[in-house]
Structure 1
């Protein structure tokens, strides 16, 4: 199927010093990350933001994929950046944060990670029935556009593909079990009001990782899709300060 206009992957070749992989959320597209990617590119970073399999076309396509497909696509982009840049970072929003955590678990040479409202679990009772419901019901109501900013728009599916959601639930379990493997610097942005991902997600990540360099920033004026919301400029500038500091420290260690 043709990719929706605006959902195309984002790529910029900048410095060979710093590379950043951006991972978008479940049912979303690189559109939700493009402004962040453009900010990083303007700062001289090499940036990759792939369109994850099953996304950006029609929602039934997402039901034909699993978390393994999304992870492999992100990992392939990571491999390209690792071969090019001396310090590689991974930034992810929502499910993109879940993938970011898994990449950090599997690739300890990642210089640092930035998470925006990452998901690793849900306390909603209906989730317990998801493995069964996903076998008989293809989709439910969607979750796009949780943005406080008037006029904010997220290019995402209006339906929630349940088979793919059940696979994401499996990924959550894998990631939670291995949180202790993460020792890289972590910067976590959490929206004070998020109608998609419950606060327990950030708490679980912060409690589980073993990073000595660990910072949480609460975004008071944004909902779930913070990269498109009021706090986006603060998020963008904070992430640049983070990666520049980490890269500088890495270079100084080598001198």
Structure 2
């Protein structure tokens, strides 16, 4: 790789769309894939952005690949892409889905003043959605006892974060067929969950110092992470936060029934922030004041 190439992670699942002046780095979730961000990436590219969606270390393979990595490896993957994007673009936004949203905040903490805005989709600080097993809320305690990590293995189950029944059926078939580069993994090991909790702990400590303008999008019906996660981010971040709660979708808001709304809100947020940078501020749209 020469100095002008941008690291898009392992394998060939990562992608770049668009050719605009403003760059957007989007980060997928734990056990997820770049595919879960493709619809939003297409929409933002049509809105005039260049969108980069890398593959995180250990992902798009099997559980052994994932367990061989930790949160610092996942962060380093995102950071490597960000460094390359930042060299090429003056204006860079960073966002992600689920754990990708958490990694986005850590990037902002590590690179203050270098990110124009954050796009946080279904932020996952704890697994407390309506479809999660009750033991999930005890994960931090279980991690603290001997062999507790082996009690925190989660199996993906219907509805898989997707309210759209047609899409859900496709994803379920891909998962069961082992097509991890498209649909992600069907199971999440306790080792990986422990790494996520370590990442969350590191990010929580630094939230008050993150002053980057932020858009928080979360479903009211999220089956994996409740709106508590979005509320917590809104309260704890040190900069201005715009929070919008979505209806008629589950956790995977970037592919579910409201993905067009996700694109619309994200594009408007980017446009608004970019205009502010050009010293020509406009009044914030009314739907951005929806703090529900």
Given the two structures, how large is their TM-score scaled by the length of structure 2? 0.79
Indicate the SS of the match to 2:88. coil
Question: What does 1:161-240 correspond to in 2, within 5 Å?
Answer: 161-212=189-240, 214-240=241-267
Tell me how far apart the structure 1 counterparts of residues 70 and 234 of structure 2 sit (CA, whole Å): 26
Work out whether residues 24 and 96 of structure 1, in 8 Å CA contact, stay in contact via their aligned partners in 2.
Answer: yes
Indicate the SS of the match to 2:51. strand
Q: 2:99 maps to what in 1? A: 95
Q: Structure 1 residues 151, 65: closer, same or farther in 2, change over 3 A? A: same
How far off its partner does 1:122 sit? 4.4
Measured against aligned partners, the alpha-carbon deviations of 1:173-216 in whole angstroms (never above 9, x if no partner) come to: 0101110011111110010011111222111111101213x211
Q: 2:74 maps to what in 1? A: 70
How far off its partner does 1:134 sit? 5.8
Unaligned runs of 5+ in 2: 1-9, 129-136, 172-182, 281-292
Work out whether residues 64 and 164 of structure 1, in 8 Å CA contact, stay in contact via their aligned partners in 2.
Answer: no
Indicate the SS of the match to 2:268. helix
Unaligned runs of 5+ in 1: none
Q: 1:250 maps to what in 2? A: 277
Q: 2:155 maps to what in 1? A: 141
Tell me how far apart the structure 1 counterparts of residues 46 and 229 of structure 2 sit (CA, whole Å): 31
Question: What does 1:52-63 correspond to in 2, within 5 Å?
Answer: 52-63=56-67
Indicate the SS of the match to 1:173. helix
Work out whether residues 60 and 161 of structure 1, in 8 Å CA contact, stay in contact via their aligned partners in 2.
Answer: no
CA-atom RMSD in angstroms = 2.0
How far off its partner does 1:93 sit? 0.7
Q: Which stretch shows the higher mean deviation, 237-246 or 126-135?
A: 126-135
Indicate the SS of the match to 2:166. coil
Given the two structures, how large is their TM-score scaled by the length of structure 1? 0.90
Q: 2:165 maps to what in 1? A: 150
How far off its partner does 1:44 sit? 2.3
Work out whether residues 139 and 152 of structure 2, in 8 Å CA contact, stay in contact via their aligned partners in 1.
Answer: no
